[in-house]
Amino acid sequence: MEQRSKNKLIKLLEKTLERLSSIEMLDYKTLIEEAFGESSEDNDADDLRQAEGGEPEPVFGEIPKWEQISEIKGLSLCRDFLTPDQQSTLISSILQEGWFTDASHNQAMRFGDLPAWANELSTCIRELIEYSNYDLESMELSSEMDGQDCIFPSKLINREPLFNQLIANSYQPGEGICAHVDLMRFEDGIALISLESSCVMHFSRVVDEAATNDNRIEPKIPLYLTPGSLLLISGEARYHWQHEINRKPGFQIWDGQEIVQKRRTSITLRKLCTSE
């Protein structure tokens, strides 16, 4: 009797999940569309389907998929977060800020009140994470998912504001970032959006030299970042791994091929620690 009741409950939850998924994904896509515009590719495809008598598909087609990096807990990548058209709109918004009109300026920081497009971007990230974190098995086991199993821990995604600090970087070919861990003045949970040029980011474990006499060098973990991708860094990945991008000739290799270097723009979103 107990097993039969459990099976009925599971079926009920599955039906509920299907309804909620369609609603939540529609909300997410609507937010993305309002913030960064529709994709012309999707519009063309819809027109073709309607001409053929078919129903138009949702704005984004398939649900964006995540890659969780098995070697590093707390590192999740969504490659298709923004379409090419939405990336262009976001880049235009960044350029309109006037931060990079001088060739000598390649970085801008904002604290507290962020530009409207950055707040919209944060909302889109939250909606996508909430949708992605919704999992039937986790609901059966507990009210909260394991912080290492979900895309972003619930204690982070539910904070207000989600982000209140922004860094915009414009890298020319050959320019990158040295290996580092983000400053402790920022809370756990960082979002990174890559635009324009692909690159390989390398992660290496932070070594406590005082605690070990082992001189072995652990191999770096490479991660291929494509334009429009969203990278989330939390927990172990945020505090115990440093990341870097070496864009000098010979270092940007993926699948045996060297990546053609172009201008790369990145947006990093973080939250400042509250002062006691």
User: Does 59 reside within a domain?
Assistant: no
Q: Which domain holds residue 131?
A: 64-270
User: Does 172 reside within a domain?
Assistant: yes
Judged by DSSP in three states, 175 sits in: coil
State residue 14's pLDDT score: 54
Residue range 177-229, pLDDT digits in tens: 999 999 999 999 999 999 999 999 999 999 875 555 666 778 899 999 999 99
- 199-234: buried (b, 16+ CB within 10 Å) or exposed (e) per residue? bbbbbeeeeeeeeeeeeeeeebbebbbebbbbbbbb
User: Does 99 reside within a domain?
Assistant: yes
Q: What is the pTM of this model?
A: 0.75
Q: Quick one: how many helices (H) and strands (E) in the chain? A: 7, 13
For residue 5, which phi and psi values (nearest 5 degrees)?
A: -65, -40
CATH number at residue 164: 2.60.120.590
User: Does 54 reside within a domain?
Assistant: no
User: Does 121 reside within a domain?
Assistant: yes
Domain count, the chain: 1
Query: What average pLDDT does the segment 22-37 reach?
Result: 55
Q: Identify the CA nearest to 36 among candidates 82, 4, 97, 102.
A: 82
User: Does 127 reside within a domain?
Assistant: yes
The alpha carbon of residue 46 and the mean position of all alpha carbons in its chain are separated, in whole angstroms, by 27
User: Does 9 reside within a domain?
Assistant: no
The alpha carbon of residue 39 and the mean position of all alpha carbons in its chain are separated, in whole angstroms, by 19
Alpha-carbon dihedral angle through residues 44, 45, 46, 50, given to the nearest 10 degrees = 100
pLDDT bracket for residue 261 (50, 70, 90) = confident
Q: Is 256 a residue whose pLDDT tops 80? A: yes
Query: Taking all residues of the chain, what is their mean pLDDT, rounded to a whole number?
Result: 79
pLDDT, greater one: 49 or 166? 166
User: Does 29 reside within a domain?
Assistant: no
